[in-house]
Structure 1
């Protein structure tokens, strides 16, 4: 086996990161019945997610992508990323804007929650993580289920309300109320709203 391929098999120590930014399903082909309803909200949120990611990464926060495998059990994340990046319009723009860096970690998930049947909990334990910042879509499904699982496992959770998206304002509002109420997550915005002119 060539030396450069052997290098790829060498284990690298995980960084210690008391806080982790968990990006849920942000690399997404938006190929489902209500995708056109979600897409404009996701595009607006994606621009703030990119800013938040840059800010937190500069502070040493590890970024973990928890992405759906979309039922393609033979595929790897890079295949999903490449397919999404070539999508037209905002679908491809989101994937290009939020492409992981070489320092980011990636896991694939088979169900809605980032914790269900994935190595996420093991990964967070190895990094001594205590707090999760969770962003992505959809707010009322994969984000909510990931956040509620995180709370049940004892993590402090912040779901920035301006870095998530849902198919309708009603579903978004419901998710924010549930997360900030009975599930005891912080839902404060990551950025101040711009004053209207």
Structure 2
């Protein structure tokens, strides 16, 4: 918890030695009748921003923690959740592939909405000596909101970049962001306004979770192209192969 017993004011720079990036339910099948095309489009846009946010955080030495739903499978390992969410035809497959974890990332599987409820997240943050959190992921008005609430109650300083969350409806997303800003004292500026002091000579580690085979990667290339902002599916395919 924050040893100073106070919450960060908007406008303060990110301090890597105090900070962890929490990605909430970004590995997600998004296979629910309640989630329409509008949400998938918004989540795709947010996913690109989350990918860049994670890249900048990693360059600054900030660890990434995946706080991911177990989808009711109490026997699942995270690798099984990833495999489930990257199967052909799954609505959330392109986004899950775009945001796959790397070898030096951490994860906790959560049974309910909050990343803190029934998980080891707080103990992990204590182990890492982090009292400042950047929250990103889906959905902004549910799991991100519940996690922000629990983080605030534990006196963590909060950043929730507004371009790195998405909800089922834009109005609900804005309402959640206002709540997190007004009540949980979160800094909700866009991620590109955050200042990260990047470190030098850092190389990306190899991927731990190798989910795609060549055939799956070929099938995913058009979706990856749209998410990665690449006009050439071949370039997107190379991204999926490297995923660095």
What TM bracket, shorter-length normalisation? 0.7 to 0.9
Query: How far apart in 2 are the matches of 1:158 and 1:137?
Result: 15
Name 1:179's counterpart in structure 2: 180
| CA apart distance, 1:76 | 1.0
Whether the 8 Å CA contact 1:29–1:87 is kept in 2: the answer is no
- What CA deviation, in whole Å up to 9, does each residue of 1:79-113 have, x standing for no partner? 11012122437621111110000000011000000
SS of match in other structure, 1:35: coil
Please say if 1:26 is aligned against 2:26. Answer: yes
Structure 1, unpaired ranges of 5+: 1-15, 193-197
SS of match in other structure, 1:64: strand
Whether the 8 Å CA contact 1:43–1:90 is kept in 2: the answer is no
Name 2:120's counterpart in structure 1: 119
| CA apart distance, 1:134 | 0.2
| CA apart distance, 1:61 | 0.2
SS of match in other structure, 1:74: coil
- TM-score, scaled to structure 1: 0.86
1:74–1:57 distance in 2 versus 1, CA, 3 Å:
same
Name 2:189's counterpart in structure 1: 188
How is 1:1-197 mapped onto 2 (pairs within 5 angstroms)?
17-36=17-36, 37-88=38-89, 91-191=92-192
RMSD: 1.5
Query: How far apart in 2 are the matches of 1:153 and 1:171?
Result: 25
Name 2:226's counterpart in structure 1: none
Query: How far apart in 1 are the matches of 2:29 and 2:35?
Result: 9
Number of paired residues? 177
1:160–1:75 distance in 2 versus 1, CA, 3 Å:
same
1:117–1:176 distance in 2 versus 1, CA, 3 Å:
same
Query: How far apart in 1 are the matches of 2:76 and 2:121?
Result: 19
- What CA deviation, in whole Å up to 9, does each residue of 1:17-54 have, x standing for no partner? 52000000000001222222421111100000000000
Name 1:10's counterpart in structure 2: none
Greater mean alpha carbon deviation, residues 31-40 or residues 65-74: 31-40
Query: How far apart in 1 are the matches of 2:137 and 2:35?
Result: 14
- TM-score, scaled to structure 2: 0.70
Where has structure 1 moved over 4 Å in runs of 4 or more? none
| CA apart distance, 1:191 | 2.1
SS of match in other structure, 1:191: helix
